[in-house]
Amino acid sequence: MKRFIVTGHLASTAGNFSLNDLPGAGRMDVLCRCVNASFFLSHDFRRDVECYLVLCGEPEPPKTVMFSGEKVRYLSPDERSAGSLIKKALALPARSEFRESTPGVYVRKGGLGQVLDEFECAVLAESGQDIRSAKDLPEAYLLSDHHNFSEDEMSLISNLPAYSVGPLSLHGDHTISVLNNEFDRRRAGWH
Ligand SMILES: C[S@@+](CC[C@H](N)C(=O)[O-])C[C@H]1O[C@@H](n2cnc3c(N)ncnc32)[C@H](O)[C@@H]1O
């Protein structure tokens, strides 16, 4: 199982945002693209992936929405589709435990701290160790959205291993694609 955990620093925690203005919902478009990059292949789907969106925007931060590749239904490879499932998840009253909103999509109260308690995470960062030189790949990866990790977040993650997928700063969804590719290459014996 691979896990991608993306922090949306301004991403809405209310289910009333417009699907016609995903950027206006705290750059929800960035998170929707990360969902799609986590799962979609050409005419196929990565069932062995979970994608966690840590939403830190108003009005009820933080909340976490989780997509399970094994169980998700009704997700198609466009941003509005992921946005619509996030909206439905946020319309459900969130509790401390995950609740399923639509098949394979879950929401709970709580943010990065809870996720870090659950998984051994690595940070994806431009300045990290070259992922190709890693002997074994970690199973859970933290990414930031269009903002850098905050000081509070840095205090939680600064001791975690950090990996880089290349020398240039990429968009989060592109970083996920490169990392998925690294897993694919190793599984196929190309490494
Ligand atoms: C758009 S980048 C963030 C941009 C940058 N931190 C800033 O605000 O100027 C989104 C995230 O993708 C990941 N990322 C981007 N390029 C990367 C790389 N070369 N290696 C590993 N992770 C990368 C990091 O987690 C980063 O926080």
pLDDT digits (tens, 9 = 90+) for 111-142: 999 999 999 999 999 999 999 999 999 999 99
**Per-residue pLDDT at 79:** 96
Any ligand 1 atom below 6 A from CB of 121: no
Residue ranges in the chain modelled with pLDDT below 70: none
Residue nearest to atom 10 of ligand 1 (CA): 172
Cβ neighbours for 47, distance < 8 A, ≥ 6 positions apart? 69, 70
- Euclidean distance between CA atoms 71 and 128, whole angstroms: 32
131: amino acid identity, one letter: I
Give pTM, 2 decimals. 0.97
Report pLDDT for 171: 98
* Residue 191: per-residue pLDDT: 73
| Cis check: omega of the bond before 62, within 30 degrees of 0 | yes
- Domain covering 1-191: architecture: 3-Layer(aba) Sandwich (3.40)
Å from CA of 153 to ligand 1 middle? 15
Find out whether 143 and 170 touch, Cβ atoms under 8 Å: no
